């Protein structure tokens, strides 16, 4: 980070405290995900049927579920799994998408057309339905939620990287690198990708929120994460059975956790866009 | 002349989307073939089923043939309009989908209507006074709206309107089990009840529809309002609006006739995208409200490794998606005649 970027960042953060708050929130979330197991007040798995379905109290801040487990502790423990799923899915599609998109945008030709067709096919699916079918087909495991979420994100990254590289492929500095005897691979990796990465980083933050919602949706319908593992989507699914009898805390608190997490990453993404790419400011 | 150009463009778009549809068919087919579990074992009479019986079921389902041949057979059936038979319901998939599609469409379209009616005025109001309280509220609602998962908002609506307020009926299905169904004409309960003239039934169906439709609408108000606001801002800042103002036209004429008409194009694009996300969100909303639509049908089939319904469902969704994009394309020409001049 050069001092100019730093100054710009500080300027943006001062003018836009929301981004600063979002960054703080995201930091707290990551911290909770890291140290969760050491700060929870109760054992998230231990059931205590005598204390089942109790509303929030001083003892159990977010109430207890049908097995008497402490909802708050489960929420805290679940942060790690939810964030890990979303982060690894987005990282995966970012890495694969950036490389495929960059190669297509740089080389063009037949490969570009084939990949374009493949992307069109992926985009013709309602994406959540595609993810659902993939998790069911690959096997009902957490890794497959990651893979499915990564694949349905892939088209956006490929298109983005392709478009960004395509407009730069004939730029003077690319031709200069070629003239200096750099190979195509080296031009892509050393010059083109670093140029498009900042814009893509914004996409990552915006995508994280979406990936979390997606993963939670999948586990809500019973795919991927299995009980008794604490995970926000599955906690909502378990609480759903008791909502019609007024046990709101089983749904509201995991829902709140999901909402705040996604909100943090979305606001952070908007802020990052202002910092990294002032042209795209809205 | 203009109509011809629009039809022409629609036809071109349709033909260019055919390869993608074909890709969807093949991709789904292959995906379903790697589903874990052997459907033949699953649907054999019981755990004691002998190998002969399982082999017979496999042959009956065509599972004993190599995969490429199975694909060709599937494509042949498809070209004859056959989607195979669901093993869980025992019905042809086409019949099941036809029975259940109206439920899903009624839900999705009602939700889209509610969302549009709410989002467009909100977006316009925000754009008319950028930086005002209204603008901030709209932006806050938009930021929040995309963050709440549909299954959570659906359940919370049930809590508020069913448990606390008692305004909504028991949130399961399209109609109370003790109510009599209207004679089936379109499959859309609201339309069928209206045709039958049974207004009591119409009300019951509408009350049942309210919460799930609201849930789904909440989910898509944000992108619609955000886009309306952005494109309305651009349109209000343009030269023709300035000219209209300088000519002293009424505010209503400037905003509605000139600015909004020109701002509606990007909103239409978003409606296409939003509709596709709604098709996905259908799965979650139908599950929350035990809504007997195509998505819950496919989900049940998926969880019991029943190939045919899932394939049929995905194909149906992809076709609807293509159709929606076509409609949006045609509407483009209506909203902005410049689009058809190419």
Name the band, by pLDDT with cuts 50, 70 and 90, for residue A281: very low
Collect all residues with Cβ–Cβ distance below 8 Å to A266 and sequence separation of at least 6: A22, A205, A206, A209, B143, B146, B147
CATH tag, A3-45+59-281: 1.10.3720.10
Query: Measured between beta carbons, which residues in chain A are less than 8 angstroms from residue B20?
Result: 117, 120-121, 123-124
Mean per-residue pLDDT over chain A, rounded:
83
Instruction: Name which of B21, B37, B39, B152 to mutate to probe chain A: the one with the most chain A Cβ atoms within 10 A of its Cβ.
Output: B152
Question: Would you tell me which residues 116-145 of chain A have a C-beta closer than 8 angstroms to some C-beta of chain B?
Answer: 117-118, 120-121, 123-130, 132-134, 136-140
Q: Are A242 and A235 in contact (CB under 8 A)?
A: no
pLDDT of residue A279: 55
Could you say which residues of chain B have pLDDT below 50? 1, 341-342
Question: pLDDT by residue (tens digit) across A203-242?
Answer: 787 788 888 998 899 989 888 788 788 889 889 988 888 8
Whether A262 sits inside 8 A of B302 (CB atoms) is no
- CA B165 to CA B169: how far, in whole Å? 11
Q: Give me the mean pLDDT over the A161-177 stretch.
A: 83
Phi, psi of A241 (to 5 degrees): -65, -20
Q: Give me the mean pLDDT over the A11-39 stretch.
A: 82
Closest A-chain CA to B315:
A125
A217 touches chain B (CB under 8 A): yes
Whether B321 sits inside 8 A of A124 (CB atoms) is yes
Of B28, B144, B230, the CB nearest to A263: B144
Whether B19 sits inside 8 A of A120 (CB atoms) is yes
Of A127, A255, A267, the CB nearest to B149: A255
pLDDT of residue A256: 92
Of A220, A254, A259, the CB nearest to B147: A259
Of B19, B147, B277, the CB nearest to A263: B147
Nearest CA-CA distance, residue A245 and chain B, Å = 7
User: Residue A269 pLDDT > 50, yes or no?
Assistant: yes
Instruction: Name which of B18, B144, B151 to mutate to probe chain A: the one with the most chain A Cβ atoms within 10 A of its Cβ.
Output: B151
ipTM of the predicted structure? 0.84
Name the band, by pLDDT with cuts 50, 70 and 90, for residue A282: very low
Residue with tokens 């006739």: B257
pLDDT of residue B252: 84
Collect all residues with Cβ–Cβ distance below 8 Å to A112 and sequence separation of at least 6: A104, A105, A162
pLDDT of residue A147: 92
- CA A260 to CA A209: how far, in whole Å? 10
pLDDT of residue B43: 62
A280 touches chain B (CB under 8 A): no
- Predicted TM-score (pTM) of the model is 0.84
- CA A129 to CA A121: how far, in whole Å? 14
Topology, domain B102-306+314-340:
MetI-like fold (1.10.3720)
How many Cβ atoms from other residues are within 10 Å of residue A49's Cβ? 10
Of B143, B299, B314, the CB nearest to A267: B143
User: Residue A280 pLDDT > 70, yes or no?
Assistant: no
**Domain residue ranges in chain B:** 2-79, 102-306+314-340
Question: pLDDT by residue (tens digit) across A61-79?
Answer: 778 888 878 888 888 888 8
Collect all residues with Cβ–Cβ distance below 8 Å to B170 and sequence separation of at least 6: A244, B162, B176
Q: Give me the mean pLDDT over the A157-165 stretch.
A: 87
Residue A100 or residue A246, greater confidence: A100
* A262 membership: H or E segment, kind and range: helix A249-276
Query: Measured between beta carbons, which residues in chain A are less than 8 angstroms from residue B156?
Result: 243, 248, 251-252, 255
User: Residue A278 pLDDT > 60, yes or no?
Assistant: no
Question: pLDDT by residue (tens digit) across B79-138?
Answer: 777 777 787 788 888 888 988 999 999 999 999 999 999 999 999 999 888 888 888 888
Question: pLDDT by residue (tens digit) across A81-130?
Answer: 989 999 999 999 999 998 898 888 888 888 888 888 888 888 877 788 88
Query: Measured between beta carbons, which residues in chain A are less than 8 angstroms from residue B17?
Result: 124
């Amino acid at each position: 980070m050069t001092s100019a970027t730093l100054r710009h960042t500080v300027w943006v953060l001062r003018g836009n405290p929301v981004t600063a708050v979002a960054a703080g929130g995201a930091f707290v979330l990551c911290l909770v995900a890291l140290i969760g197991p050491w700060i929870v007040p109760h054992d998230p798995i231990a059931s205590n049927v005598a204390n089942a379905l109790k509303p929030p109290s001083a003892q159990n801040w977010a109430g207890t579920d049908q097995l008497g487990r402490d909802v708050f502790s489960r929420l805290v423990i679940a942060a790690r799994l939810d964030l890990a799923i979303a982060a690894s899915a987005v990282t995966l599609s970012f890495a694969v998408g950036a490389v495929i998109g960059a190669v297509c945008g740089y080389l063009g030709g037949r490969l570009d057309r084939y990949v374009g067709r493949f992307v069109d096919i992926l985009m013709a699916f309602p994406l959540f339905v595609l993810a659902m079918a993939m998790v069911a087909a690959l096997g009902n495991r957490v890794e497959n939620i990651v893979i499915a979420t990564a694949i349905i994100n892939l088209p956006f990254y490929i298109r983005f990287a392709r478009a960004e590289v395509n407009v730069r492929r004939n730029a003077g500095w690319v031709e200069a690198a070629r003239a200096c005897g750099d190979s195509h691979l080296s031009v892509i990796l050393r010059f083109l990708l670093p140029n498009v990465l900042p814009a893509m980083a914004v996409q990552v933050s915006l995508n994280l929120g979406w990936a979390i919602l997606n993963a939670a949706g999948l586990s809500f319908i019973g795919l991927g994460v299995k009980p008794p593992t604490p995970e926000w989507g599955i906690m909502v699914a378990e609480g759903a059975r008791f909502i019609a009898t007024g046990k709101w805390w089983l749904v509201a608190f995991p829902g709140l956790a999901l909402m705040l997490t996604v909100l943090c990453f979305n606001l952070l993404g908007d802020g990052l866009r202002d910092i990294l790419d002032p042209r795209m400011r809205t | 002349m203009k109509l011809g150009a629009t039809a022409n463009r629609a036809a071109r778009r349709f033909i260019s989307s055919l390869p993608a549809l074909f890709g969807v068919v093949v991709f789904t087919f292959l995906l379903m073939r790697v589903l874990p579990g052997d459907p033949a074992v699953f649907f054999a009479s019981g755990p004691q089923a002998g190998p002969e019986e399982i082999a017979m079921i496999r042959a009956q389902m065509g599972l004993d043939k190599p995969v490429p041949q199975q694909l060709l057979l599937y494509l042949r059936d498809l070209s004859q309009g056959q989607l195979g038979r669901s093993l869980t319901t025992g019905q042809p998939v086409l019949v099941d989908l036809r029975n259940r599609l109206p439920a899903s469409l009624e839900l999705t379209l009602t939700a889209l209507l509610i969302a549009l009616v709410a989002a467009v005025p909100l977006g316009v109001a925000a754009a008319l006074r950028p930086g005002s309280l209204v603008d901030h509220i709209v932006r806050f609602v938009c930021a929040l709206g995309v963050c709440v998962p549909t299954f959570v908002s659906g359940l919370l609506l049930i809590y508020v309107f069913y448990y606390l307020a008692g305004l909504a009926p028991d949130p399961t299905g399209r109609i109370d089990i003790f109510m009599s169904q209207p004679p089936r004409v379109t499959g859309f309960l609201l339309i069928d009840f209206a045709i039958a003239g049974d207004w009591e039934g119409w009300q019951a169906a509408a009350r049942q529809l309210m919460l799930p439709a609201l849930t789904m609408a909440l989910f898509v108000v944000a992108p619609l309002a955000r886009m309306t606001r952005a494109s309305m801002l651009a349109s209000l800042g343009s030269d023709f609006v300035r000219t209209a103002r300088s000519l002293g036209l009424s505010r209503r004429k400037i905003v509605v006739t000139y600015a909004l008409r020109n701002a509606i194009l990007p909103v239409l694009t978003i409606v296409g995208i939003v509709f596709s996300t709604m098709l996905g969100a259908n799965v979650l909303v139908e599950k929350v409200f035990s809504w007997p639509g195509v998505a819950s049908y496919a989900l049940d089939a998926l969880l019991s490794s029943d190939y045919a319904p899932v394939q049929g469902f995905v194909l149906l969704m992809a076709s609807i998606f293509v159709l929606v994009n076509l409609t949006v394309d045609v509407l483009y020409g209506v909203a902005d005649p410049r689009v058809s001049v190419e």
